[in-house]
Amino acid sequence: MAGLPSDISGRPLWLLAELTYRCPLQCPYCSNPVDFARRSDELSTADWMRVLNEARQLGAMQLGFSGGEPLLRHDLEELIGEARRLGYYSNLITSGVGMDEERVARFKQAGLDHIQVSFQASSEELNNFLGGTASFQHKLDMARAVKAHGYPMVLNIVIHRQNIDQIEDIIRMTIDLKADFVELASTQYYGWSKLNLDALLPTREQLRNAEAVARRYQEMMKDRMKIIYVVPDYYEERPKACMNGWGSIFLTIAPDGTALPCHAAQQLPGLTFPNVRDQSIEEIWSHSSAFQHFRGFEWMQEPCRSCPDKTKDFGGCRCQAYMMTGDATATDPVCSKSPRHGQLRAEVERIASLAGSSAPAQPLVFRNSRNSRALSPPVES
Amino acid sequence: MNDTPDQRVPALKTMYRFQWEPAQAAHVLLYPEGMVKLSGSAGEILKRVDGQRSIAVIIDELKAAFGGAPLDDDVRNFLAQAQSNGWITL
Ligand code: SF4
Ligand code: SF4
């Protein structure tokens, strides 16, 4: 939904609590870091309680419990209760795997405001293939349970080349489930999805079709259900206002307590991210060098520095800039004013031609511990 | 059925939470993954939207609270806007 008031910033309005990197699913587009299996250390319940309290005092209102799969934390009910007591609007962002109707009811009692269930696709076969788990029927049951227990229901489906042609079936499924909001979220390419970019980026033609379908249903369902579909920014001429600006309103706490301005930021070089085990949220937000680093406009290079649009998009995504140019202070290459924009266009063309060719597709790399360990060296401590 | 538009009773939809935020010194509406910061007058109106009070009662109360100012149309317009935003039922 990302409903953001434009007139308030400077406070961590949004707290994303990534409770764990453990997950029974293996989505090849997962946004968790590729080396998640080397980061298995998790905050205690008491640590999380302190984080919730301190962030709320700084003005946080929206709280997302995510992961990994947050249901794997046995203290989830306790954390929800504390969140309610503190006055957060709390959102549980889940695959539904590990939930049953009893737990849905318990969460409600503890004060949870909203459950967002994700689906991988609208067909059992594709859903279970992409998630690497036979989860489809259970997800349907859980979506119904969420609705039956009076929660607003948001269904989230990450859209990419493997499921984009089924977008109509996907929307129909969400209508059958009586969702209030549907987020058709285009894959963002970092973490695991970057590894799988060649197999996930849709072609321009696929996008055009999908957009037309989404628009038709938006119109048709206008008074009953809100459908949000954002196309991948690789096809745009202007970048997204990533995180509404660095250290502006978003605060992510990773499972091990690392505080991040964006859940993908750990890949950026040369930054040391503070940990809630060592510092208060106030110190981290207001004084840590990592949170100051890309705040405001001082860090920018040309063409952003003298561009009038810098207050709108903040120069785009730092991670994307780094991944494509090797320089985290560069203009996001999605922007047509970026000197590297042509390179991004060429990359998109290359991938589109792969999609159209009969050459055997590169197999998907699934997000699981085995692959994570194989792909990343041990973290030094 | 209600006879006149002002006898309708507005109610906040269940997915929204209305509350006072000390850090913003304002009322806010919270909903799945989003929020709206309300102006002072919007806050005063929504504070009285409880599924019990009719529009007429809300107008009377606000007049009493704000020295009889002619705010009838402001209230009606705001509530119509709130309905079209999907915040309330009328
Ligand atoms: S994207 Fe898939 S694998 Fe990653 S945390 Fe979510 S459900 Fe688990
Ligand atoms: S040059 Fe920079 S600030 Fe200007 S539109 Fe492009 S990304 Fe945004």
List the single range of A134-143, A144-153, A208-217, A359-368 with lowest mean pLDDT: A359-368
Residue to test with chain B: of A89, A108, A149, A221, most B Cβ within 10 A: A89
CA atoms lying within 13 Å on the CB side of residue A250: 21
As beta bridge partners, residue B21 has B26
**Nearest CA owner, ligand 2 atom 1:** A304
Cβ atoms of A273 and A259 within 8 Å: the answer is: yes
Can you tell me the distance from the alpha carbon of B53 to that of A299, in angstroms, rounded to the nearest whole number?
53
A223 Cβ contact partners less than 8 Å away, ≥ 6 residues apart: none
Q: What's A377's DSSP letter?
A: P
Split at pLDDT 50, 70, 90, the class of A173 is very high
Query: Structure pTM?
Result: 0.90
- Indicate which residue's Cα is closest to atom 1 of ligand 1: A30
- Stretch (H or E) spanning A94: strand A89-94
Spatial distance between the Cα atoms of A297 and A325, rounded to a whole number of angstroms: 19
Supply φ then ψ for residue A15, to 5 degrees: -110, 120
Q: What pLDDT is stored for residue A269 in this prediction?
A: 86
Domain residue limits, chain B: 5-85
The structural architecture, per CATH, of the domain B5-85 is Orthogonal Bundle (1.10)
| Ligand approaching nearest to the C-alpha of A366 | 1
CA dihedral A365, A371, A375, A379 (to 10 degrees): 140
B72-84 and B40-47 helices, crossing angle to 10°:
80
Longest CA pairwise span in chain A (Å):
57
- Check CB contact under 8 Å for A116 and B32: yes
Name every residue whose Cβ is closer than 8 Å to that of residue B2 and which is 6 or more positions away in sequence: B8, B9
- Residues in A closer than 8 angstroms to B34, CB to CB, are 1-4, 62
- A310 Cα nearest atom in ligand 2: 3
Tokens standing for A50?
A: 């302190």
Query: Contact A143/A154 with Cβ under 8 angstroms?
Result: no
The verdict on a CB contact (< 8 Å) between A154 and B33 is yes
Kindly report, residue by residue over A24-56, the tens digit of the pLDDT.
999 999 989 998 998 889 999 999 999 999 999
- What ipTM is given for this predicted complex? 0.86
